[in-house]
Amino acid sequence: MLKKMMAISMSVIVLFSATACSGSQPADSPGKMDASNNSPATDAPKTDTEDAPMTIRFATWDTASSLETYKAVVDGFQAKYPNIKVQVESVPDSYEQKIFTSLAAGNAPDVFLWWNYPQLVARGAVEPLDSYINSGEIDPNQYYPEIFNASKVNGVLYSIPNIPTNL
């Protein structure tokens, strides 16, 4: 059941970042892995066409068994969206520093776990997600209201919980 919830959450999170991918550092940089086969990742060419291959970088502070769960989620997502490759980046130490440094350098991951949204909003580092609610791509009813609303800053949604509460 937890894997199913993680799969749905990851698919939604990754799908949103696909619409707003920023430039990323070369995939052969240290710490990168190809989630499909646990080998060093390679970037697919990025173009403006919808069917063109693209790579999305996902950063997490998790390691070991948690990465296995993410790998299963990523495998399912990539099966559904074969033109999108998800590159999982495990940063178990100094995670916050790594994210801030990569934001400052302009090569932050497209999707990453976070908890202090006002910090990121103040830096202009995250995209408002309200339009995804309005279009029906995010269903707030899948989450406990208290947790969902904690992802808002000044009434604007900037993140979604990584685990839905209703399936």
Q: Which two tokens stand for residue 151?
A: 């992802």
Token output for 18: 């696909």
pLDDT recorded at residue 12: 43
Query: Hey, which of 8-17, 72-81, 142-151 has the most confident mean pLDDT?
Result: 72-81
pLDDT given for residue 17 in this prediction: 36
What's the token pair of residue 71?
């790998």
Q: Dihedral of the CA atoms 112, 13, 66, 101 (nearest 10)?
A: -10
pTM of the model: 0.64
Neighbouring residues of 137: CB distance < 8 A, sequence distance ≥ 6: 12, 15, 16
Query: To the nearest whole number, what is the mean pLDDT of the chain?
Result: 74
pLDDT the model gives residue 31: 40
CA atoms within 13 A on the CB side of 102: 23
d(CA 120, CA 129): 14
With a cut of 70, say whether residue 154 has pLDDT above it: yes
pLDDT at 117: 80
The whole-number average pLDDT for the span 66-72 is: 87
Residue-wise pLDDT tens digits, 23-68: 333 333 334 434 433 333 434 334 455 678 999 999 999 988 788 8
Under DSSP, the state recorded for 39 is: B
C-beta separation of 23 from 106 below 8 A: yes
Domain limits, the chain: 2-113, 115-167
Tokens of 95: 């995670």
Give the residue, 88 or 37, on which the prediction is more confident. Answer: 88
Beta bridge pairs of residue 58: 88, 111
Place of tokens 């949204």: 117
Please give the distance of CA 98 from its chain centroid, rounded to a whole number.
Answer: 15
Rounded Cα gap, residues 39 and 160, in angstroms: 29
- Classify residue 75 by its DSSP letter: H
Q: Which two tokens stand for residue 144?
A: 């406990």
